[in-house]
Amino acid sequence: MIKLDIVSGFLGCGKTTFIKKMLENIKDENIVIIENEFGEIGIDGELIKKEGLEVLELQNGCICCSIKMNFRDTLIKAINKLKPDRVIIEPTGIGLLSEIITMVESLNLEDTIKFNSIITIVDGINYFDYYDNFGDFYEDQIKNALTIMISKSELIDKKNIEDIIKSLKNINKNAYIIHENWEDISFSKLFKIIDMANSDLIQGLEAIDKKYISDNMKNIESVSVNPLKEYNIADLEKILSILSKNNLGKIIRCKGFVNIDNGVVEVNYINGNYTIKECNINTISKLCIIGVKLNKKDILNLFK
Ligand SMILES: [Zn+2]
């Protein structure tokens, strides 16, 4: 029986970081990862790729809607050709979890592949901001999870964490909620617990009525940039700080790699906060920017 894990969560919550932890802690299994990116370029795949690991990348669309059939075919092919022990799916941050679960169930492959864990990661720092702005959609990811992880909890105070847990329990009273600082968690233990998550729990799948998806959600779009020139850190910080003013649209996420004078840096921008760190990945400069009502032309001009 192939184990299936879905790691869902809104833009920038830490899905890729979490999957890296999974990969470090799950030994002796043949794992296939299906990596879905909303933008037309792949970033997360680059961060995960390593010897002996199959990473199947689906770009330029969302596996819960626009490239549903592509996802279906990829999953079936992965099962039949690669014969994995485990498939891990990382949907885009704006995928409806209920749709993805329904799609997998519709394949009638319950003799071959079994839901092992359905995890939703919520961003501790931006929880209430996203909830207010993307309500129904955000709830869908929370409602349909078996395990909910609060990320970045080391950066917020205790009262705030309690409020988030209260809110999560209102939306999904059955999920196993983990709020500890990820640095303090024994992931090898955690995955043993999550591994026992019972797929019967999925019976209560609660899909949302799509007509209620907020306009904010419908207006999320992406723009891809291939910055041609070499930057220095100061230039790059200037661009990110311009983006954070939200004059060019509400920028929720910007991620990718940029060439600087002496190497490559990894850029991570999440709802106004950003980090730039050195990285040793051999890649071309590429950035994916996701947000609401983007002024794409002016954004592209920033990088000229
Ligand atoms: Zn979708």
Summarize pLDDT for 36-77 with one digit per residue, the tens. 998 888 888 888 888 778 999 998 888 988 899 999 999 999
The answer to whether 90 and 13 have CB atoms below 8 angstroms apart is no
263 alpha carbon to ligand 1 midpoint, in Å? 35
Ligand 1 center to 101 CA (angstroms)? 12
What backbone phi and psi angles, to 5 degrees, belong to 265?
Answer: -120, 150
Residue 291 has phi, psi (to 5 degrees) of: -175, -170
C-alpha R_g of the chain: 19
Distance from Cα 66 to the centre of ligand 1, integer Å: 6
Half-sphere exposure of 212 (CA within 13 A, CB side): 10
Handedness of CA 21, 199, 2, 40 (dihedral sign): negative
Are the beta carbons of 295 and 219 closer than 8 angstroms? no
- Between the CA of 159 and the centroid of ligand 1 the distance, in Å, is 33
Q: What confidence score (pLDDT) does residue 71 get? A: 95
> pLDDT tens digit string along 144-175?
998 999 999 999 999 999 999 999 999 998 88
Distance between CA atoms of 183 and 191, rounded to whole angstroms?
15
Residue 131 has pLDDT above 60, yes or no: yes
pTM: 0.87
Q: List Cβ neighbours of 254 (8 Å cut-off, separation of 6 or more).
A: 240, 243, 267, 268, 269, 274, 287, 288, 289, 290
- C-alpha 241 to ligand 1 mean position (Å): 29
- How many angstroms is it from 64 CA to the middle of ligand 1? 4
Angle CA(181)–CA(178)–CA(187) in degrees, nearest 5?
A: 65
CA of 222 to the centre of ligand 1 (A): 13
**Contact (CB, 8 A) for 23 and 106:** no
How much is the mean pLDDT over the chain?
Answer: 88
pLDDT at 80 over 60: yes
Averaged over 256-266, what is the pLDDT? 89
Distance 253 CA to ligand 1 centre (A): 17
User: What pLDDT does 91 receive?
Assistant: 95
By the CB criterion, residues less than 5 angstroms from ion ligand 1 are 62, 64-65, 95
Residue 31 has pLDDT above 80, yes or no: yes
In the reported structure, the alpha carbon of residue 103 is separated from the centroid of ligand 1 by a whole-number distance in angstroms of 12
pLDDT for 208 equals: 53
Q: Report in angstroms the alpha-carbon separations of 292 from 114, 159, 223.
A: 36, 30, 11
**Predicted local distance difference test score (pLDDT) of residue 282:** 81
Confidence category of residue 196, pLDDT binned at 50, 70, 90: low
Q: How many CB atoms lie within 10 A of CB 3?
A: 18
Given this model, what pLDDT does residue 184 score? 86
pLDDT of residue 287: 93
Helix (H) or strand (E) holding 226: none
The yes-or-no verdict on residue 210 having pLDDT over 80 is no
Q: Where are the beta strands (DSSP E) in the chain?
A: 2-9, 31-36, 54-58, 86-90, 113-123, 147-151, 176-178, 220-225, 250-260, 263-270, 273-279, 286-292
Helix (H, G, I), strand (E, B) or coil at 114: strand
First to last CA, the chain: 51
- Given a contact cutoff of 8 angstroms between Cβ atoms, the answer to whether 157 and 128 are in contact is no
Measured in angstroms, how far is the CA atom of residue 70 from the centroid of ligand 1? 12
Strands 54-58 and 147-151: unpaired
Q: What's the pLDDT at 114?
A: 87
> Is pLDDT of 293 > 50?
yes
* Gap from CA of 23 to ligand 1 centroid (Å): 26
Distance 259 CA to ligand 1 centre (A): 31
More confident residue, 41 or 181: 181
Cα(7) to ligand 1 centroid in Å equals 15
The Å distance, Cα 99 to ligand 1 centre, comes to 8
Query: Do the beta carbons of residue 2 and residue 89 sit within 8 Å?
Result: no
CA of 169 to the centre of ligand 1 (A): 25
Judged against a pLDDT cut of 70, whether residue 199 lies above it is answered with no
For the segment 284-292, the average pLDDT, to the nearest whole number, is: 91
* Percent of the chain clearing pLDDT 70 (strictly above): 93
**Percentage of the chain modeled with pLDDT above 90:** 59
Q: Quick one: pLDDT at residue 47?
A: 85
